[in-house]
Structure 1
């Protein structure tokens, strides 16, 4: 607990984490065995571990549609998050061909994207 939080009884403000890594997984075009053998929860756990359990960022949920699954990761440094999670993306079969958007700020900020090669 820092000095101000001891005086006012409130925790110190957390650093702003408005940079993002958005991962778009193919929800229907991969081989059937990939969907049978892999699951979203395992992928999210591996990503959380790669992010240092919150040290670099957090996995902040997902959205599933009929043809795509979106994962949302937020933190203070999107490029650092990508460096940390890239080995997971390349190794986990569910990520084959995934589109990854790296956003360096709040929505509307500069971004780049790449595809995970199978």
Structure 2
């Protein structure tokens, strides 16, 4: 017998941690900055995976900034694991947005300056 769609468990809404850092130089920053971002991203990704709180999902470079993304079921838990690595990046101004739900919902979010 198959489960009906009405009996399937629903997944909790996906939360996000979105960190934005202003880069120096031109639109894509400077190559030395890239290596710091990639190193921090690897470290943050390993910490997130080890803690089992979600998934680091890469970055976007452009417009004079870098944005680092991570997703999981609890934005606060995800941020606690990511915070040391994010604060270690030297680029400022910088901030993090914790999003408590899917992006298409009218969700609560919190902004934290780094």
Check whether TM > 0.5: yes
Using the alignment, how far apart are the partners of 1:21 and 1:76 within structure 2?
Answer: 11
Moved over 4 A (4+): none
Please give the root-mean-square deviation of Cα atoms over the aligned residues, in Å: 2.7
- Report 1:1-118 matches (<5 A): 15-16=11-12, 18-28=14-24, 36=32, 38-53=35-50, 55-94=52-91, 96-107=92-103, 108-116=106-114
For the residue of structure 1 that corresponds to 2:40, the secondary structure is helix
For the residue of structure 2 that corresponds to 1:51, the secondary structure is helix
Q: Which runs of 5+ in 2 are unaligned?
A: 3-8
Equivalenced residue count is 100
Using the alignment, how far apart are the partners of 1:35 and 1:101 within structure 2?
Answer: 26
- 1:12-66, CA deviations, whole angstroms, 9 ceiling, x for partnerless residues? x9x556100001011227xxxx963752221111111221347111111211113
